[in-house]
Amino acid sequence: MPIFFFSVRHGEDACVSNDGAEFVDHNAAWKEMTGVCGDMIADVSRKLPENTEWQMELLDESKKPVFRIRLVAETLQDTD
């Protein structure tokens, strides 16, 4: 079975799991990733500063991204 690694990035800070997770296929890996992301996103969004980005990636065995979910906070108008 393929091994995947989770990576979370907030701005310049990144954390990649050292422990890989085995999934039957890419569909199973995507399902797990969306579940994990869903569990985290409420807390992340409450603390996300303006004009920053948070992202979660699922990496393959060679640590290349397979899937990415992004949350972007943007200020679109001058707020002064």
Cα–Cα distance, 73 to 71 (Å, whole number): 7
Domain membership flag for residue 78: no
Domain membership flag for residue 63: yes
Domain count, the chain: 1
Domain membership flag for residue 80: no
Q: What is the pLDDT of residues 34-78, one digit of tens each?
A: 999 999 999 998 988 999 999 999 999 999 999 999 999 999 987
The encoded tokens of residue 60 equal 């393959």
Cα–Cα distance, 7 to 20 (Å, whole number): 11
Q: What is the pLDDT of residues 11-40, one digit of tens each?
A: 888 899 999 999 999 999 999 999 999 999
Cα–Cα distance, 59 to 56 (Å, whole number): 10
Domain membership flag for residue 30: yes
The closest alpha carbon to 45, from 71, 74, 67, 70, belongs to 71
Domain membership flag for residue 60: yes
Where in the sequence is the domain holding 49, given as residue range(s)?
Answer: 3-73
Domain membership flag for residue 79: no
pLDDT at 12: 83
Q: Tell me the pTM.
A: 0.84
